[in-house]
Chains A and B, each alone.
Chain A
């Protein structure tokens, strides 16, 4: 990248004709960077109002902010800059909608630069369903401020009353004159920060937002033209492979690499615990890697997928290292002592894999001491920090670029493959591409945590739950609280020692906690002989939850299945500010049951892109079917028993039931995240329906015993 030295550009401090509404204590160097790349024009920075108000500045503020830029160049082209990554959730489209809407231009006038650490403001990462609730408003604020600045500028240039001008159809118009944005920004280097008072347009004024829009670069995907990380090539690029143990764990003790070194063009790298090879072709790299004879030390007495639950309970620490939730309300013991009935059960959650179709991969290139890495990650700045740590080089010497990525589902938060590629490239003195094999994906990525959840409930003579005890070992504290109105509660998360590497996953702990809670609610309703929907409503005050539950029940025809011999189940919940209820209809099958139909009622505040949202909800349901019906990692003695695509079953065409989605659009509420929550009630909806056919095991995946 050619970047002009700072001294060559003097950012014009934006001066206002009439008022002093704008604040300009901005990171000048950041602006230099964009002007250096994009030429002149108008550049607006938006960061969280809280940070601006607290008066923090510079790097420290940047580390905690949600920041975004909007640039309008001298030709009037509009570009948004964000550290968020496109991983299939379609934010390249929905974030563009927010910018185009505020600037009153068609969607195709806007493009986004995403997740390039040299070009975009710092961002923590793309996770937790935060892109729409937090990034979309920031880009909208920047675009709204840019619009106002264009109007100010035009009024000053034309020497007319600003109030007579308006932005319409991508132009400044008024007093019989029109001008494109480029005419206003030509020859300028204007930079400004969004003043604290500027807000995005209210939902009532949305024109593009709230409408269904096609993926902005859809053609690149249907033609295969889009280059995902494994598709990227660099001049002189070589191919890498890492030397690995047979199983999922092991410490390198020694290795014999003479056979690999004897292959022409092969470089063998050994650096502490890391070993790998570089070769002119991918095939040769694999051949060389398998020619290295390595000795590994594998720990003895590793837990298996059978013994892991006892292990998690044995090693659990209340609270633990993840800021575990602990709630004690009322008097659980007294409620239990006077209860008419009690209901206790223990639920098991297995490890499951993300299986992103694009394997973890990276292309690394060193040039004059500067490292550039292309990689599919949800945390570009996090991966940059990993590279800085690994190679002890200044942050400014590392650039991470994330091409739009072949999915992640929470599985691409870390950057070990980027570090590995960079280490190999450093040794080879050439750019190196490293693409993990599917077996490496299973063994050396990380899993959704396994867990044990114990629930104890006490019910009084009126069929009302009076006490709720909920202990979660290891699967995480998200959504551990019950949304039901129960006077006495004891809720505790316990962090355990996990024998397998574990981390984020779509919906993560909320899926486990919803499964246990909703299965338990269903069990109580059944035992009391009351309707499962009515039983929940009796304990629910939250209108948003009541609305989704009622909507799902209505849509599936609760409580009557479509034909005799079929069964219905239902579950509801809330996570990350949105609400979901899922209902399932099952039929009997020779070996258990078949899911015939799934209905989801979902509410996430104001809807930005209805079609994109529909796609996300549908995808969540389908992914949820995997964890509900067949996904579970099996392991013993340090080996995975089903660590391949053929052995680890993910949902396929034949597994897909009829799906009905009811979207409740609450335009009076801010948009909440939506990419995860719809997954959380799939398993308990299916599990509770299956109870009509017999006894259902208190574990995932759902099965009749």
Chain B
């Protein structure tokens, strides 16, 4: 069985597997990272969304061979600190943007990816990009609110950091 080197949540893993093994099954079964959920296995619901080199990817249809040498971030590694929430997680919590919570990790990861490429998305942008993720409980309006809140907060944090850097240079 071939071995693949994958960086997951900042740690390098040597993973023995078939090239066609799904990234989701590796995360869930090999590494017990169960925050990424199995919803459909066909890349159509987004419950398994993770970041591969900072881009949202549906891990259930992402092949192990395709992530060799790449950096994977899952919900478990998002904030980098177990005692702190990522601003997107905090925004979901504040907006109560879930009911059963099964889609939530995937929604959070999709939002992080969206805000990386588009820090100030319009509602139409949000709907277009997030349309690949399903919330069967129908909390979409609250998720849109959470995305907006996260965008505003991250922009503020970013401009503070910017001011900091500016100040440092002076």
Contact = CB atoms under 8 A, between A and B. Distances in A.
Given A357-B100, A405-B100, A622-B138, A224 B75 contact: yes
A231 B76 CA distance: 14
A219 interface: yes
Interface string A556-576: 000000000000000000000
A436 to B, nearest CB: 10
B37 A230 contact: yes
Contacts of A409: 136
Given A222-B85, A355-B136, A618 B42 contact: no
B69 interface: no
B127 interface: yes
Given A222-B108, A619-B99, A654-B131, A358 B37 contact: yes
Contacts of B35: 223-225
Contact of A654 (B18, B96, B127): B127
B136 A650 contact: yes
Interface residues of A, number: 55
A619 B138 contact: yes
A283 B38 contact: no
A228 B98 contact: no
Contacts of B140: 622, 651-653, 656
Interface string A242-282: 00000000000000000000000000000000000000011
Interface in A589-620: 611, 615-616, 618-620
B96 A224 contact: no
Interface string B82-104: 00010001101100101111111
A215 B98 contact: yes
B45 interface: yes
Given A215-B101, A224-B105, A645-B134, 5 more contacts: A88-B102, A89-B99, A220-B101, A357-B39, A438-B40
Contacts of B45: 357, 645
Nearest to A213: B96
Interface in A80-99: 87-90
B126 interface: yes
A91 B140 CA distance: 20
Interface string A200-241: 000000000000001100111111111110110100000000
Interface of B: 18, 21, 25, 28-29, 32, 34-42, 44-45, 47, 74-76, 85, 89-90, 92-93, 96, 98-105, 108, 126-128, 130-131, 133-144
A659 interface: yes
Contacts of A437: 41
B6 to A, nearest CB: 17
Contacts of A623: 136-138
Contacts of B93: 214, 218-219, 222
Contacts, number: 163
29 contacts: A88-B102, A218-B93, A220-B101, A222-B90, A222-B92, A223-B76, A227-B34, A231-B34, A231-B37, A357-B39, A357-B102, A357-B103, A358-B37, A405-B100, A407-B99, A407-B136, A409-B136, A615-B139, A615-B142, A620-B138, A621-B138, A644-B40, A644-B44, A645-B39, A645-B42, A645-B44, A646-B42, A654-B128, A659-B141
Interface of A is mostly: loop
Contact of A646 (B44, B105, B141): B44
Interface string A314-347: 0000000000000000000000000000000000
Contacts of A405: 100
A702 to B, nearest CB: 18
A215 B131 contact: no
Nearest to A281: B29
Given A406-B37, A406-B100, A618 B105 contact: no
A435 interface: yes
Nearest to B99: A88
Interface of B is mostly: loop
A7 to B, nearest CB: 41
Contacts of B104: 221-222, 224
A640 to B, nearest CB: 14
Contacts of A222: 85, 89-90, 92-93, 98, 101, 104-105, 108
Given A218-B93, A438-B42, A645-B44, A618 B138 contact: yes
Contacts of A359: 38-39
Given A88-B137, A222-B89, A438-B41, A656 B127 contact: yes
A218 B90 CA distance: 10
Residue of B32, B37, B96 with highest tally of chain A CB at under 10 A: B96
A224 B90 CA distance: 13
Contacts of B131: 652-654
B40 A611 contact: no
Nearest to B98: A221
B121 to A, nearest CB: 12
A503 interface: no
Nearest to A621: B138
A356 interface: yes
B136 to A, nearest CB: 5
Contacts of A615: 96, 99, 139, 142
Contacts of B136: 355-357, 407, 409, 623, 650
